[in-house]
Structure 1
């Protein structure tokens, strides 16, 4: 269904916006629909070329040349539930104005699906505008969106390193997954994977995750399987977590429910709880299967 606006908007061709790209250690590449190599330590450096006919935009919007308009980019991340203004510049009343869009987004603010919204927004309407023109500052004259899945098919969490000697965790352990109690809290702020700096094998594998050796792959496989186990255990041992609860997108409750559904699509949560209680060995084997423990890269 076509949306009808209460004011004039220019045609899409007043803006020529190129594709989004991201800066990588090897240069620049087009931004794909899914960033399978992304994690929370990755800062996204994004770029997009754009050209705007500022004069024609104002004329076809019923605005005068004195009207002030901005080109801006806003972002929203579904896992963190955070949003913000990434970039903005004023648009002059020129026939053609080339403007490169460049900004960075810190990884610890992101997660899930990242939405990039490019807008042309009225900042100040000038005198003498058409009665059909936008009059309120903040009116959107032109917009487009792109969504990027940052986590692929895997659930990723913030990862930090720490010396377990200084923490209340076993000093010989390789990692510890912290999970908060509040099911309604944002998942991004509720889960933290701590890697023990004293565990050389695990540290080496995590640091080489972008290009792991065969030995690193085995360690990472064990790490992923154990994280899945802890998330599933957390979900099944929480009596307040029920499949029919309508948790807000991006919340811890929604994430745990999704993890269990994705891991065991043929089982209800209640059936899994019963098996875990009555046949823990079978349940453990089922977890190994779904996590693909040591099954390969």
Structure 2
């Protein structure tokens, strides 16, 4: 379909909008991404080229997803009238505490209602059918950001005082992951605190620490999924929930292995399983 002219993704800075780059090294969890995108859509030709009539409904939408948080959703949408051409400006904000890792922005034109004035038997029939699609990705802090971070003195908490970090994770699989996950760094481990707080512009030493922390955080999430008898990879967990996050992490880390295979290997060959995790998380591969 050649009736959509998509402009560049633009991101707000302190003084202007600039084109969204492939990496955002200055991003952090306190940031809010203000995004814009100019579009020009010929709604009439869009319908004719797909065999639809003027009484059909087409919808322009933007979907987002974050690799580190596992969160996703629809952030913007607009019905496209059956006009020759129309200018559209996509505009929305994404809160930083829902993001992390790779941010994917998917712009789609989908069928809302087929209508009765169909011009071709080959016209799409199913609501939600994708007629046009475009995906743009950006790495937030070079994929070094893990989860919302807090620095604390472990001697004042219940965690072992010699630990460098601890991942807090809620128990309710249906609860929203946002607000249920927190990476605590022990203030007495300066190398760890410095690496985590400098993730936007890490030194070589920081990268080594971040690689270890990232691998261990993924291990913690995988372990949680494996030992939780209630957790089920086939369950339809609410979008943005802890359950949905665990499903995403397991699938992204081990795309060729089932949860039962992982559970069995961890139970019978724990050392081999630990080695597999090192490989799957690229431990120190780019440090």
For the criterion TM > 0.5, the same-fold answer is: yes
Task: Write the distance in 2 (CA, Å) between the matches of 1:243 and 1:102.
Answer: 34
Aligned pairs for 1:274-293 (under 5 A) are 274-293=264-283
Tell whether the 8 Å contact from 2:169 to 2:181 is kept in structure 1 after alignment: yes
Q: Please state how far the C-alpha of 1:170 moved relative to its aligned partner.
A: 2.6
Aligned pairs for 1:240-259 (under 5 A) are 240-259=230-249
Task: Write the distance in 2 (CA, Å) between the matches of 1:234 and 1:183.
Answer: 11
Structure (1 or 2) with the larger CA radius of gyration: 1
Tell whether the 8 Å contact from 1:157 to 1:192 is kept in structure 2 after alignment: no
Q: Which residue of 1 aligns with 2:85?
A: none
SS in 2 for 1:240: coil
Q: Which residue of 1 aligns with 2:191?
A: 201
Task: Write the distance in 2 (CA, Å) between the matches of 1:256 and 1:292.
Answer: 19
Task: Write the distance in 2 (CA, Å) between the matches of 1:218 and 1:178.
Answer: 22
Task: Write the distance in 1 (CA, Å) between the matches of 2:91 and 2:150.
Answer: 30
**Relative to 1, partners in 2 of residues 1:35 and 1:116: Cα closer, same or farther, differing over 3 Å?**
farther
Tell whether the 8 Å contact from 2:152 to 2:184 is kept in structure 1 after alignment: no
Q: Which residue of 2 aligns with 1:268?
A: 258
**Aligned match for 2:18, one of 14, 22, 29:** 29
**Relative to 1, partners in 2 of residues 1:80 and 1:283: Cα closer, same or farther, differing over 3 Å?**
closer
**Relative to 1, partners in 2 of residues 1:27 and 1:289: Cα closer, same or farther, differing over 3 Å?**
farther
Deviations 1:206-252 (A, max 9, x none): 12212211111110111111001101101101111122222233221
Q: Which residue of 2 aligns with 1:171?
A: 161
Task: Write the distance in 1 (CA, Å) between the matches of 2:179 and 2:64.
Answer: 13
Tell whether the 8 Å contact from 2:145 to 2:199 is kept in structure 1 after alignment: no
Q: With structure 2 as the length reference, what TM-score do the two structures score?
A: 0.62
Task: Write the distance in 2 (CA, Å) between the matches of 1:23 and 1:83.
Answer: 20
Q: Which residue of 2 aligns with 1:215?
A: 205
Aligned pairs for 1:24-103 (under 5 A) are 24=13, 29-32=18-21, 37=25, 38-46=27-35
Task: Write the distance in 2 (CA, Å) between the matches of 1:242 and 1:155.
Answer: 28
Tell whether the 8 Å contact from 1:41 to 1:158 is kept in structure 2 after alignment: no
Deviations 1:115-152 (A, max 9, x none): 799xxxxxxxxxxxxxxxxxxxxxxxxxxx98765667
Q: Please state how far the C-alpha of 1:294 moved relative to its aligned partner.
A: 1.1
**Alignment gaps of 5+ in structure 1:** 3-11, 51-73, 86-99, 118-144
Aligned length: 236
Q: With structure 1 as the length reference, what TM-score do the two structures score?
A: 0.60
Aligned pairs for 1:109-188 (under 5 A) are 109-110=98-99, 113=104, 149=137, 157-165=146-154, 166-188=156-178
Cα RMSD for the two superposed structures: 4.5
**Aligned match for 1:226, one of 216, 223, 236:** 216
**Alignment gaps of 5+ in structure 2:** 40-60, 77-88, 109-132
SS in 2 for 1:188: coil
